[in-house]
């Protein structure tokens, strides 16, 4: 938690961040707030994006990221310098949702809708015996940067443009040559996890472990390749 206990830059706990935006159509996902606004065209998307930028004003560059598509706008809020959610972000979420509602549109996480993919964040996890040795290779070959505030030899790597999955490294105690050593973490809204797990199982997957649920569930495809569904829950205390 930040030393600044009060004010708009106060860092929020996972529970605080989730609760603050749950009824606004946003979801807390892996240190960010995310939502989708359905639109009719790319031009319409640009108008909605411009509205959000106007609402955020001087805070837009530090807190707001926008992905425009022909059928939707995806908004992400995070205090970029701290790589976490602050009170400023939840305030901006409320203001953006209010402005969108005035246009007779809506902010929605698309949770539980089989026809639409919910908001999510993908990470790639790499198992390694010697993380400080392999980490520079992945940083160089991907053109990635250190995550803000985390520059240690075993810390995650991120795409400086925010377009591609983050990379994090999982310490191995011994070599496991018959096990896949790179897997995907799919971070979804807490109320989307069971929908996603059910879909994966129906598609031929198996549940390998729920010992750490609801923080994460380990699933595998028919050949044993693993992936994790993760949420913010179960990670505090």
Q: What is the pLDDT of residues 17-55, one digit of tens each?
A: 999 999 999 999 999 999 999 999 999 999 999 999 999
The structure's pTM equals: 0.88
Query: DSSP assignment, residue 86?
Result: B
Helix 87-102 to helix 42-56 angle, to the nearest 10 degrees? 130
Tell me what pLDDT residue 73 has: 97
Domain with CATH 3.30.1360.20 in the chain: 14-102
Which residues of the chain form CATH 3.10.180.10?
121-230
pLDDT in tens, 200-234: 999 999 999 999 999 999 999 887 889 999 999 99
The whole-angstrom distance between residue 40's C-alpha and the CA centroid of its chain comes to 25
- Can you identify the CATH homologous superfamily of domain 121-230? 2,3-Dihydroxybiphenyl 1,2-Dioxygenase, domain 1 (3.10.180.10)
Give pLDDT tens digits for 103-128.
Answer: 999 999 999 888 889 999 999 999 99
Indicate the class that CATH gives domain 14-102: alpha beta
Task: Give the three-class secondary structure for 21.
Answer: helix
Q: How far is CA 232 from the centre of its chain?
A: 10
Mean pLDDT of the chain: 92
């Amino acid at each position: 938690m930040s030393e600044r206990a009060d004010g708009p830059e106060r860092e929020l706990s996972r529970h605080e961040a989730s609760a603050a935006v749950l009824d606004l159509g946003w979801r807390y996902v892996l240190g960010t707030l995310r939502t989708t606004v359905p639109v009719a065209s790319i031009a319409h998307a640009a108008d909605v994006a411009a509205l959000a930028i106007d609402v955020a004003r001087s805070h837009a560059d530090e807190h707001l990221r926008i992905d425009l598509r022909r059928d939707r706008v995806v908004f992400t809020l995070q205090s970029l310098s701290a790589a976490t959610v602050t009170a400023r972000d939840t305030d901006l979420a409320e203001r953006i949702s209010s402005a969108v509602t005035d246009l007779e549109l809506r902010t929605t996480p698309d949770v539980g809708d089989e026809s639409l993919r919910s908001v999510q964040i993908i990470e790639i996890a790499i198992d390694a015996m010697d993380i400080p040795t392999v980490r520079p290779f992945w940083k160089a070959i991907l053109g990635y940067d250190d995550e803000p505030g985390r520059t240690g030899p075993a810390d995650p790597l991120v795409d400086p443009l925010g377009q591609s999955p983050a990379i994090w490294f999982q310490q191995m105690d011994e070599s496991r040559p018959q096990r896949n050593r790179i897997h995907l973490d799919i971070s979804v809204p807490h109320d989307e996890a069971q929908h996603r797990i059910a879909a994966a199982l129906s598609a031929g997957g198996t549940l390998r472990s729920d010992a750490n649920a609801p923080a994460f569930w380990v699933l595998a495809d028919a050949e044993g390749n693993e992936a994790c569904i993760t949420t913010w829950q179960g990670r505090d205390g």
